[in-house]
Structure 1
Amino acid sequence: MDSFLLRFLLADEQVLTMLDGVRLLNTNNDGILLVTNFQFLFVSKGEKKKLGTIPLTTIAKIEDITVLLQGKIKQSLQQEQAVRSIQVTGYDSRILTFAVKSNHNDQGTVVACLRKYAKPADLRGLFAFRNLSVPRAVDNRVSPEFRLLKEYHRFFHKWFSHSPSTSFEIQKVLENKWWRVTNINSDYSLCQTYPAHLRVPKTISDEELKEASKSRKKMRFPAISWCDSGSGAVLARSSQPIAMMDHNEDVKLVYAFCTPRIKPTDEFSVNRKLYIVDCRPWTSAQANKLTRGGTESASTYQEAEIVFLGILNIHDIRGSFTGLREYVNAYESIHQVDSLEWLNYIRSILVGASWIAEKIAQESASVLVHCSDGWDRTTQLVGLASILLDPYYRTFSGFQAVVEKDWLAFGHQFAKRMGLPTLGEKEQPNEKEISPILLQWLECIAQLMRMYPSAFEFSSIFLVDFMDAVLSCRFGNFLCNSEEERARADVVNSCPCIWEHLADMWASCGMVHKHMNTFYNPSKYTGAIVPPASALTPILWPEFYLRWTCPLESQRESDYVEALKSKKDAEPRSTVAELEGSHTDVAKPSGGNCRLRVVGSNVLM
């Protein structure tokens, strides 16, 4: 193997097979194909740079096909009318096509190797377990459990140099007048897909929690995700209720979120309003009754208002993403983007999260959110509403906190949604369970950043790189389906940590990095941001979807940032301030004046 190829490999990366005399039809470059234990790598011979590189676990489909070539491409390949080729489709929306000269007999070997290593048979076959050169998160100061408790410390306005080590210490330290942290699930015996420590109402005992969990699917009882320390309003989450069950303890738990108002006003009474938000369409919720699911009954939960958001399930999302991927790789009329269901689904999530944020921020109401299982649509909405409500979550450290709290600790099924093996499963992952749920959420954040460019510490490029890192399986944080599975697999001690990697990378680059938002102004948005429904019209996310087919379009933001940095170095501070001020926000809510206009409980269906 040529020595210049080695510089494109990671420290623990090994070449499995290689194929010379290949053309990347996307760019019309000749080069060498390599399959490693981490990625599918194409290196151009002329420019000696990597093109068309894709991590193995990011590959959605591999096809050994024949492509009919025309014009100059056909002439350069010795007038062959039909050329054997390899087409690779990625979960990151790209489609790569490689033409192989007909005298090559190794194409089948390359395809077989790709299919074997792109979908390893067991969890420890993933590159994260082989990536030995990256330091491990080996002590409790950086363990996921400690980081979650650190977020709970912030919730209670407390901080300690060590994590509470005993059940008594946790329950004594992490509590206030209304809420407490329980270790009822410390061994994951109550709910395997919930975190070891949960925030719950102080008036509800552990025994009552156990009883309440029996009336929710997969024992995912209502638990607190976020609380407004100023008003006492709560954002909680759960799974759907089980039909034909006694819901007395569940009703008591849900009503416990309605604490008395800390600062009653003339407009709102002492009693706090409670909303139960079902992410699904009403018809889907009713259909779940056939499998002992369903939704809350107004006659049982009389003190709550039940709202349906009409957000479709993972199967609809998977289908719409396939259409989007074909669109961005087809170079067809831009007007066809209007017919893409994907953008409609993005808008429904944005509107739903904004609706939730409005009720908490402007009515001081408590909101319980659930879908069916409570780990897909629920996670999207709760995570996005948290970002709208709390400016801390719009910083780097806050983004990490909300990802670890709502996506990792509360059991989003990363392995199922990415088609990866997990602990103890011998069967191949079910392709019908694959769906880009995390990508949708990140795209919603990118849409908000377009509206509020100075509200976020991180850039859109950071979100792109973060999504790529998750898909690559280079780090252990997003393996398996729950905190419990990652604990049993000893992921913390066996795999590198993405947060440590990012921190080291930022530290090595000093204060300037493409992940940092040049326009960030924390003093401008010190509280909740609630965009009006009329402003929630998403556009195609160029930094993510156009980077392969239209790289110049996708780089406009980074080019502008580079230009601004140059001006900052060359011009006086006052001039720079004027330049930053010229980049105005699309929507500027001021205090509580910008309300989301929603009439009726089923308007979003």
Structure 2
Amino acid sequence: MEKTRVAKVEDVTLARRGEQVVGTLHLTPHHIIFSHSPPQSEPARAQGLPVKPKELWITYPIISFCTFRPAPAASRQPSAIRLRCRDFTFVCFYLANEHKGREVYDSIRTWTCKLGRIDKLYAFAYQPPPPEREFNGWELYDPQKEWARQGVDCDSHGWRVSRINSNYEFSPTYPAVFPVPSSISDNTLNYAGKYRSRARVPVLTYLHPVNNCSITRSSQPLVGVRQNRSIQDEKLLAAIFSTSRSERPLAGFTPPHLDKESSGSTQSDLFNSQTMSEFPSAEALEDEMLASFQGDPEEKPQIYGAQQHNLIVDARPTVNALAMQAMGRGSENMDNYKFATKAYLGIDNIHVMRDSLNKVIDALKDSDVTPLGPSRDQLARSGWLKHISGILDGAGLIARQVGLQHSHVLIHCSDGWDRTGQLSALSQVCLDPYYRTLEGFMVLVEKDWLSFGHMFRHRSGPLNSEKWFQIENERIGGDPNRSFGEAGGAGKALENAFLSAKGFFNRENSNRDSPPESEGEMQSYDSDNPGVRKPSGSAPKSVVPEKEVTNVKETSPVFHQFLDATYQLLHQHPTRFEFNERFLRRLLYHLYSCQFGTFLFNSEKERVDYNAKERTRSVWDYFLARREQFVNPQYNPLIDDHKRGQERLIFPQLNRVRWWSEAFGRTDAEMNGTGASIPSGGRDTSSTERTPVLTGIETARRSISSRASDKENRTVSPGTLDVSSQVSSLTLSEASEEPQDQNNASRMEGETQ
């Protein structure tokens, strides 16, 4: 790797929030450090007290955009380097010497973009201060202990812990152990895995301690245009939806011909429509399964939980799910799952979310050079609050189904690691007071985000990209990432058209052996190496390539949205959370800081491959060592469903969704105005309309649409899947809040707060 071209520059002017100070710029292998001496007060000067310099620390991975503006010819104006950071810090450095300015820009780009490997990031060199050394956050989450807390180890609940994925060969993106119904064998899971994208079969993530109803999660089924089906997948879901029954009618129930599942049947044997004729009792099987599940009301007395409304939640817009069928995927045919109802939530994919955040950045992008507040109209047009409201609405639906309707819920989107993680984790925050404690929330993040394979490496882009660096007046052609979040134009539309065509004609119907793909339903590129397709059926030796750069179109603020939605719940229920807003804000910062190994990888398997627990520190060390800073003084741990404000369950209030101003580095007045909260979706404050959560409800008998949200705010051309709204030009912005690599405790809370 190249060495820095310049390590120290004097007389640099820093512009931030409309103010300017002169100081010294230092470039280290892991940080940009700007230091300056503030004016000394008269009493301090009189006492001869030394002036304590102030420092601004910016870690390189948190830089999301950098622009160098050379000094204009025949002008006395200085050169400028503008940085936009992922924690919404905007700064500008003015350098009188243009040669020095170019060297500083080149050094920043080198340290930021030319690492090429995850294990060259700061986390692998970070030495924690003494308070952090007393903790080991990697041991905080013990899956066996957490499943036992939920009651999975009790036979009466009908669950067991499967180790079919102990070597990560069954599903590389799933955890090593996960709970499944006791009546389902690993052999059945093997066959069911062939029917779910990347073998991400329905498995348990939460078991309600009161009614034993469950939240399970999976990826989309491989339905395709031929309406493929899997008896094993249907049996697995039926068993899941019957686990809360005291009689467990499906326990031990073996459908006809399934006893032959180990006799060498292939995937085509199970899914080919012609081969399905070899199962003459398939319809009878469904009827028998459904009758066994529902019981005979004339002969059997109704029992607790018997009148369930079990739900399959497809987080995607209906049109997206249907379009995936043309590529061999899709959504469940409810004729084969008569024991449940399906709801489409209409939550947009990663590209729409990235584009929405870019529009927020457009409203904030001049924060370095002007003290003016953001444009409220631009903020409203971003649609950010609408997306947060939609996610909260979906989580509220799931929590009500489980907590109030005593029903089971299966959640999936495309691959089940973005929107699925948001909905699953947020609904558990609503259902379980344990996940509203400091340690409980950490366990929830470990379980539903880290172990279930959210692609942090792809979504956060820690290795950065050359596309996020530019020199003004030296651009060749149109730059799709234009300075500080400007929207794309005709070039972007042309790119989307090619991307859509490539996605339609080149997609392979692969599952567990295929390379990672995005939640953008029409993406066709390989996430690790665009333009290079791996042979079908041959698994890569390593999840992470030896040399890697960030794929801009794979980045998205998925986890940021989860933290934002959690902030909404915290703001609406301030006494029900043990942690405070600062905890969420610092967690958002460390998502991008690369100081800890927690958020650097795409899966549990990658963390094992990199030996992350021995080579890096856990982010939870940071919080546990400073626990007093993140505890909510209003927290009331008492649970009493008979007292208002102490109920076990909490639910989102969509009419109180507001801007998380501190996360965006702004005041509440600047983001939310002088009034109270912003209504759902950022609409005008006079509007009290609530957008329904369901974009479609589907059962074995009917399929209806409850609103036209699939067409809202976008145009879908025949034969395409809203690709124009999926692929945006720019990644999210975020960056630094405090010094990161010093053992000196006084430097851990710096000027950058």
Partners of 2:130 and 2:161 lie apart in 1 by 31
Counterpart for residue 116 of structure 2: 121
Counterpart for residue 432 of structure 2: 390
- Displacement of 1:596: 11
- Confirm whether residue 343 of structure 1 aligns to residue 343 of structure 2: no
Counterpart for residue 543 of structure 1: 662
- Displacement of 1:141: 8.3
* Equivalent residue for 2:325, pick from 276, 289, 298: 289
Partners of 1:274 and 1:522 lie apart in 2 by 31
Partners of 1:104 and 1:128 lie apart in 2 by 33
Which has the larger Rg?
A: 2
Partners of 2:164 and 2:388 lie apart in 1 by 36
Partners of 2:111 and 2:357 lie apart in 1 by 24
Counterpart for residue 105 of structure 2: 111
Q: Counterpart of 2:405 in structure 1: which amino acid? A: E
Partners of 1:515 and 1:278 lie apart in 2 by 35
- Confirm whether residue 519 of structure 1 aligns to residue 499 of structure 2: no
Sequence identity (%) = 31
Mapped contact 2:411–2:424 kept (Cα < 8 A): yes
Partners of 2:404 and 2:9 lie apart in 1 by 61
Mapped contact 1:260–1:272 kept (Cα < 8 A): no
Partners of 2:111 and 2:140 lie apart in 1 by 31
Counterpart for residue 27 of structure 2: 35
Structure 2 CA distance for partners of 1:526 and 1:596, relative to 1, 3 Å: farther
* Equivalent residue for 1:255, pick from 238, 245, 248: 238
Structure 2 CA distance for partners of 1:44 and 1:100, relative to 1, 3 Å: same
* Equivalent residue for 2:59, pick from 51, 55, 58: 55
Mapped contact 2:578–2:632 kept (Cα < 8 A): yes
Q: Counterpart of 2:363 in structure 1: which amino acid? A: Y
- Displacement of 1:260: 5.9
Partners of 1:217 and 1:417 lie apart in 2 by 19
TM-score under structure 1 normalisation? 0.79
- Residue pairs, 1:278-357, within 5 angstroms: 278-330=314-366, 331-357=373-399
- Aligned-residue CA RMSD (Å): 3.3
| 1:480-519 CA distance string (max 9 Å, x none) | 110001101000000112212322223xxxxxx3311111
Mapped contact 2:6–2:103 kept (Cα < 8 A): no
Structure 2 CA distance for partners of 1:125 and 1:40, relative to 1, 3 Å: same
Unmatched 5+ residue regions in structure 1? Answer: 1-13, 69-78, 158-172, 507-512, 557-585, 587-594
Counterpart for residue 293 of structure 2: none
Partners of 1:350 and 1:49 lie apart in 2 by 44
Counterpart for residue 494 of structure 1: 615
Q: Counterpart of 2:57 in structure 1: which amino acid? A: T
Mapped contact 1:39–1:54 kept (Cα < 8 A): yes
TM-score under structure 2 normalisation? 0.64
Aligned length, in residue pairs = 522
- Residue pairs, 1:189-588, within 5 angstroms: 189-244=169-224, 245-259=228-242, 261=244, 270=306, 272-330=308-366, 331-421=373-463, 423-506=544-627, 513-523=628-638, 524-532=645-653, 535-547=654-666, 550=667
- Secondary structure of the 2:93 match is strand
Instruction: Say which is worse superposed, 385-394 or 45-54, in terms of deviation.
Output: 45-54
Counterpart for residue 88 of structure 2: 93
* Equivalent residue for 1:46, pick from 24, 38, 43: 38
Mapped contact 2:83–2:90 kept (Cα < 8 A): yes
- Displacement of 1:83: 2.4
Mapped contact 2:315–2:413 kept (Cα < 8 A): yes
Q: Counterpart of 1:518 in structure 2: which amino acid? A: P
| 1:389-442 CA distance string (max 9 Å, x none) | 101000001101100000000000000011135833423221110111111100
Q: Counterpart of 2:415 in structure 1: which amino acid? A: D
Mapped contact 1:531–1:596 kept (Cα < 8 A): no
Counterpart for residue 82 of structure 1: 77
Partners of 1:551 and 1:30 lie apart in 2 by 29
Partners of 2:168 and 2:139 lie apart in 1 by 15
Counterpart for residue 149 of structure 1: 144
Partners of 2:313 and 2:30 lie apart in 1 by 41
Partners of 2:84 and 2:449 lie apart in 1 by 26
| 1:77-128 CA distance string (max 9 Å, x none) | xx96532100111122232211111x35222222122112223211111000
* Equivalent residue for 1:25, pick from 15, 28, 35: 15
Partners of 1:598 and 1:133 lie apart in 2 by 45
Partners of 1:502 and 1:326 lie apart in 2 by 32
Structure 2 CA distance for partners of 1:141 and 1:208, relative to 1, 3 Å: farther
Partners of 1:308 and 1:551 lie apart in 2 by 34
Partners of 1:36 and 1:261 lie apart in 2 by 57
